[in-house]
Structure 1
Amino acid sequence: MKFITLLVTLLVFSGSSYAEQNKETTKESANDKNKPTIIALAPHIVEMLYDVGAGEQIIGTTSFADYPEQAKKIPRIGNYVRLQLERVIELQPDLIIAWKSGNPSDDLARLEQLGFNIIYSQPHSFEDIASEVRRFAKITGHAAQGETVATKFEQTLVKIKQQYQNKTEITGFYELWSRPLTTVAKGSWPQQFLNICKVKNPFHHVITPYPQISIEQVLPASVELIIQPLSVNQKEREAFNWQDWSIIPAVANKQILQPNADAMHRMTIRSLTALKDLCAEIDKTRSFLRQKHS
């Protein structure tokens, strides 16, 4: 009799547990159905969506969206030059998140005409990243995680700024591209890295954000540091051969940094790690110069 009573109790408990688990599973499935499917039209948008927990909702993206690793499995529906409109129509996303200045405007206009829901991403600063993280999290059903990620990002940014705000400024050249030789100025995305890490950019006041220059314009600046970001996605790129110009102090002293261009140039949470690493490397150059001149 005791055995029967125990068996009944276990069955009731087991049934109750199964019902609760099934209830939770059903609830999660319902929540998943309410979360929109997304086409993300830039690598930085894909990264942000994964950061807030919405990566699995992405059903299409563009070339070079390769981070995190899972992003490589997302179907490609175009690049920054042209989108495959028929694929977008076939996929029928609930939401398209586009890069305002990095996607073909005529294709986006056509998709809007077809009735697709498009929102735009256009971060210009680190502060904008936090704002976009919150916005993307909210519209994709991950508001709580987005708030956590954005808040941590903002707190870390404040700490980095405080750490370097009183550092001695050193003169640096930022090589964005080699052929033609291209650098950065005010209004460019990388300029904020230089501002925070306390690097004086001799081309800061040029009107265009990404000016093309000649080596003859670099020589008078007595550059103490050269920052030459490189990307695995630019295998055909030939970096500028600074070794031919030993007259430049940075070359003579072997003070050339080659950070990860993808981490630096994509407007994502990861760019803050790139900022922290860059500032630390620049600080080593600062210490080297201090010792050299003492």
Structure 2
Amino acid sequence: MGARLLFVAALTLGVSGLAAAGAAATGAERCAVDDLERRVCLEAPARRLVALSPGATELAFAAGAGERVVAVVAHSDYPARARKLPSVGDYNRIDLEALVGLRPDLVIGWVTGNPEEQLETLESLGTQVFYIEPRTVEGVAGTLKRIGRLAGSEATAEQEAEAFLDGMEKLEARYAERDPVRTFYQVWDAPLMTLNGEHLIGRAIEACGGANVFGDQPRLVPRLDDEAVLEANPEVIITGSDEESMDNDWLGHWRQYPNMAAVAEDNLYTVPADPLVRPTPRFLQGAQSLCERIDQARPGSGAE
């Protein structure tokens, strides 16, 4: 760590100390338990937040704390206002000097995405880090509420969380009685990867009446080969793609296997990637697209 960073850190700690002293007198302490099961407390609602993943950025805005976000990382493109915020690097490599210089009173970190050593350095300098990684529908709602608690925007966060839960409940009810469809969701091509049933997307497949052909795999993100997919013989293959182009060459790879059910029935589909892969309220939108594709592949159902 350079002398300049240490100087900025010392300045930050000094400012934070003054703020904490003032807040202590008001008795406005805010606490929440993060996804590392640590109790994180602020002397007052956060006023300067930094979000270290695109998903964390979306969650902060959805929780009503968007006006308090002072920096994000690359690819934080939703909502549109987030694109105008300064970036402190990529989710897997943070510019600590730039981040500390912004004097945040709360950093929202990503449990398995951000570099552990960098976040530990931030904490050693006195910066509060709130770790998140929601993996269930309830987890997304709970994360919204916890961010709202720390930012003092509880009412907005509560409303957004309840709307999200209600939407997901209605979606699941809509497809609950439909025949299962053997589903393969491809997340990468080289190496070939999918998601098991514990992943949020895996849970969405189940909510849509799909049967994840690799749902029982022990790894959250299993690595596969073509032979494993051929043996599973999915009735539909789905992958995420850029919302603007919706082009994806990965699906074309499977056409060399005309006897596989998904290829024989031409059930090879893309869905917009970002709403589905980011654990935010927009996941409802992504799950709706996923359900529509699975339903297209359901014998006797067709597109609605």
The one-character-per-residue Cα deviations of 1:197-243 (angstroms, maximum 9, x if unpaired) are 11112222221111111111111222110111113699998525222
Paired residues, number: 258
User: 1:53 deviation in Å?
Assistant: 2.3
User: 1:260 deviation in Å?
Assistant: 1.0
Which of the residues 193, 217, 229 maps onto 2:228?
217
**Structure 2 gap segments, 5+ residues each:** 1-43
| Cα distance in structure 2, aligned partners of 1:202 and 1:147 | 35
Where do residues 134-153 of structure 1 align in structure 2 (5 Å cutoff)?
Answer: 134-153=145-164
Instruction: State the SS of the aligned residue for 1:66.
Output: coil
Q: Decide whether the 8 Å contact of 2:48 with 2:70 is kept in 1.
A: yes
Which of the residues 53, 56, 61 maps onto 1:42?
53
| Cα distance in structure 2, aligned partners of 1:132 and 1:291 | 36
Q: Decide whether the 8 Å contact of 2:241 with 2:247 is kept in 1.
A: no
Higher Rg of the two aligned structures: 1
Q: Which residue number in structure 2 is paired with residue 239 of structure 1?
A: 250
Q: Which residue number in structure 2 is paired with residue 167 of structure 1?
A: 178
Q: Decide whether the 8 Å contact of 1:60 with 1:75 is kept in 2.
A: yes
Instruction: State the SS of the aligned residue for 1:228.
Output: strand
| Cα distance in structure 1, aligned partners of 2:116 and 2:277 | 21
| Cα distance in structure 2, aligned partners of 1:62 and 1:233 | 21
| Cα distance in structure 2, aligned partners of 1:248 and 1:202 | 13
Q: TM-score, normalised by structure 1?
A: 0.82
Q: Decide whether the 8 Å contact of 1:178 with 1:238 is kept in 2.
A: no
| Cα distance in structure 2, aligned partners of 1:221 and 1:246 | 14
Percent identity over the alignment is 30
Where do residues 44-193 of structure 1 align in structure 2 (5 Å cutoff)?
Answer: 44-193=55-204
User: 1:277 deviation in Å?
Assistant: 2.3
Q: Which residue number in structure 1 is paired with residue 290 of structure 2?
A: 278
Amino acid at match of 1:113: S
The one-character-per-residue Cα deviations of 1:131-189 (angstroms, maximum 9, x if unpaired) are 11111112112111111111111111211111111111011111111111111113223
User: 1:190 deviation in Å?
Assistant: 1.5
Q: Decide whether the 8 Å contact of 1:64 with 1:233 is kept in 2.
A: no
Which of the residues 221, 239, 258 maps onto 2:270?
258
Instruction: State the SS of the aligned residue for 1:242.
Output: helix
| Cα distance in structure 2, aligned partners of 1:155 and 1:76 | 34
| Cα distance in structure 2, aligned partners of 1:233 and 1:214 | 29
Q: Decide whether the 8 Å contact of 1:63 with 1:79 is kept in 2.
A: yes
| Cα distance in structure 2, aligned partners of 1:86 and 1:35 | 20
Q: TM-score, normalised by structure 2?
A: 0.79
Q: Bigger shift: 41-50 or 51-60? A: 51-60
User: 1:92 deviation in Å?
Assistant: 0.7
Q: When you count helix as a share of all residues, which structure comes out higher?
A: 1
Query: Measured at CA, do residues 64 and 156 of structure 1 come closer, stay the same or move farther in structure 2, by a change above 3 Å?
Result: same
The one-character-per-residue Cα deviations of 1:29-49 (angstroms, maximum 9, x if unpaired) are xxxx96511011111111111
Q: Decide whether the 8 Å contact of 1:186 with 1:207 is kept in 2.
A: no
Q: When you count strand as a share of all residues, which structure comes out higher?
A: 2
Amino acid at match of 2:215: H
**Structure 1 gap segments, 5+ residues each:** 1-32
